[in-house]
Amino acid sequence: MTLEDPAGAFCPHGKFEIAGAATGPLAGLRVAVKDLIDIAGHVTGAGNPRWLATHPPASRTAPCVSALLAAGATVVGKTITDELAYSLNGDNIHYGTPRNTAAPGHVPGGSSSGSAAAVAAGSCDTALGTDSGGSVRIPASYCGLYGIRTSHGAISLDGIVPLQPSFDVVGWFARTADLFEQVGRVLLPESPRPVLRRLLIARDAASVVDPGVAEALAQAIAAAQRLFGTAQAIDVAPGGDLEPWRQIARCVSAAEAWAIHGAWIESAAPDFAPPIAERFAWAKTVSAADHAQAEAQRRAIRTRVQDRLADDGVLCLPTAPGPAPRLDATGDAVEAFRQRAQRLTCIAGLTGLPQITIPAAWLNGLPVGLSLIGPTGSDAQLLAVARQLEHPA
């Protein structure tokens, strides 16, 4: 099988093939793997050459990859990630920015940028990513794909370079809802399946998104309302202001990121892109007291959201503030868009809840995604909703 990489999505050190089982539900399908996930015999590069040089080849393959291989999928290589997964833009100064074939001239989104770009370009059928602060959801939206942030703890993180352990989850991409669900049948654990009955529309999102996004998504929201039979508009955060929640997520996630990587950064002195270096520099300054206060606030947020969803509610909101930013966007414009995106992505991150994004609409010729957040453990049900929306009765 010859790897075709029109999007430049694969790492220089990640171009190899591992055949899966001869039979199985994913037999004949190609899967790419984010270069944050271990494959035995290969060094996991985590988006940074210094990391690549200071770590040995993996001794075993991550369980999520092994499950796909056992189901018949063939691994076609490792894909580019933002450095140590600490970004949402999808650019990498060392290995290049994967091309977003769904939105030429625009970023693919990160940190699972290569995985999303590879699926969008047709280099593979599905691809594994990880999501801490939006790293599957955002690139899925930008590249016009289905993507999932799974329930925290639902899929083993063994063999995956951590970033923010209480946020980190495995996710994947697909071009069709049928394959999206099929991969879930392989990766997700068997569990009781709550019946999702109520659709809740997040009013908070109105102040976050670009002009035209709400109108672009209206048809998809109406389809979801028809599926559930009714919908209720709510403010997710008190007063409809998600910015304090973003700040809480920023504090907790930064403290965790420095606890995980601080010692290596100070000893290995890696060459980071300026935005990544700035994030780690700030993470180092988060005090134990600030972290503890943010954790207490997080517990209150988790209770609030879980009370609203109970075991049968689904929260509907735009995945991102708008279509993918342009490749030539710089500085304050990139950071402002990133912060607006985090106001949307922090909801599931702070609560550990599953979230899917579906390729719902186009705005000015660029894809935009619509997200659904469900109760803990409702991952399979959300995948089924995606399929029902793609194939309405």
Catalytic center residues: 34, 111, 135
336 vs 331: CA distance, rounded Å: 9
**Structure tokens, 339:** 């912060």
**Structure tokens, 79:** 């894909």
Burial label for 387, CB within 10 Å (0-12, 13-18, 19+), is middle
**Structure tokens, 111:** 């940190």
For 357, which DSSP code?
E
Radius of gyration, CA atoms only, the chain: 19
Residue 193 phi/psi, 5° resolution? -110, 105
Listed in sequence order, the DSSP H helices in 41-168 are 49-54, 63-70, 113-121, 137-143
Listed in sequence order, the DSSP H helices in the chain are 49-54, 63-70, 113-121, 137-143, 177-187, 213-228, 243-268, 274-285, 288-309, 331-351, 379-390
**Structure tokens, 169:** 């989850």
61 vs 144: CA distance, rounded Å: 29
- The identity of residue 267, as a single letter, is S
Residues 6+ apart with CB under 8 A from 190: none
Which strands sit side by side in the sheet containing 169-174, from one edge to the other? 74-79, 30-34, 126-131, 169-174, 146-149, 355-363, 366-373, 313-318, 198-202, 232-234
For 37, which DSSP code?
B
**Structure tokens, 278:** 């700035």
